[in-house]
């Protein structure tokens, strides 16, 4: 059972380095909790 510990509804998160690893996981969790997520990566 998944519990929503916090709500990010109406918030915008700009996450750098989010194409993999910890940045990707953070982007996914923030999105699941209602944030509009903008991801950025420097990978070519």
Segments of 1-44 assigned E as strands: 12-16, 36-40
Q: How many CA atoms lie within 13 A of 32 on its CB side?
A: 11
Coil/strand/helix, residue 18: coil
Do residues 2 and 9 touch, judged by C-beta distance below 8 A? no
Mind listing the pLDDT tens digit for each residue in 1-44? Answer: 566 678 899 999 999 888 888 989 999 999 999 999 999 887 76
* pTM attached to this predicted model: 0.74
CA 40 from centre of chain? 11
Pairwise CA distance, residues 2 & 15, whole Å: 24
């Amino acid at each position: 059972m998944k519990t929503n510990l916090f709500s990010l509804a109406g918030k915008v998160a700009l996450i750098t380095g989010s194409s993999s690893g910890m940045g990707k996981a953070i982007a996914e969790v923030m999105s699941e909790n209602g944030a509009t997520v903008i991801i950025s990566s420097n990978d070519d």
